[in-house]
């Protein structure tokens, strides 16, 4: 039986997107539990300021912000990719 490489590529693309969404979900939970979303509702902030608002580590807040940015970029890219 021959492998349909086009279907395989489509499956892998969906799998990778779902895997990324799973990782991003953990990031959302962390942000909620630490109060990062609520603190951001007060206004935009750099990692240091957001960490001060939430009494958390600036380094970890910076990592969290990078993760959120990657997730947003990934979702935008995925939405703009034509589907078959």
pLDDT by residue (tens digit) across 22-64?
888 889 999 999 999 999 999 999 999 999 999 999 999 999 9
Q: Give the per-residue pLDDT at 35.
A: 96
Q: Provide mean pLDDT across the span 2-9.
A: 92
Q: How many CB atoms within 10 Å of residue 50?
A: 22
18, part of any domain? no
Domain count of the fold of the chain: 1
16, part of any domain? no
Q: Give the per-residue pLDDT at 71.
A: 73
Host domain of residue 50: 36-76
Q: Give the per-residue pLDDT at 80.
A: 45
1, part of any domain? no
24, part of any domain? no
4, part of any domain? no
Burial (0-12, 13-18, 19+ Cβ within 10 Å), 51: buried
Confidence of residue 73 (pLDDT cuts 50, 70, 90): low
DSSP the chain: ----HHHHHHHHHHHHHHHHHHHHHHHHHHHHHHTHHHHHHT----HHHHHHHHT--HHHHHHHHHHHHHHHHHHHHHHHS---
């Amino acid at each position: 039986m021959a492998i349909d490489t086009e279907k395989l590529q489509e499956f892998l693309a969906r799998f990778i997107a779902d895997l990324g969404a799973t990782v991003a979900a953990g990031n959302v939970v962390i942000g909620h539990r630490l109060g990062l979303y609520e603190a951001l509702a007060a206004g935009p902030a750099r990692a240091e300021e957001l960490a001060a608002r939430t009494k958390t580590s600036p380094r970890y807040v910076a990592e969290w912000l990078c993760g959120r940015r990657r997730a947003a970029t990934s979702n935008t890219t995925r939405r703009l990719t034509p589907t078959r």
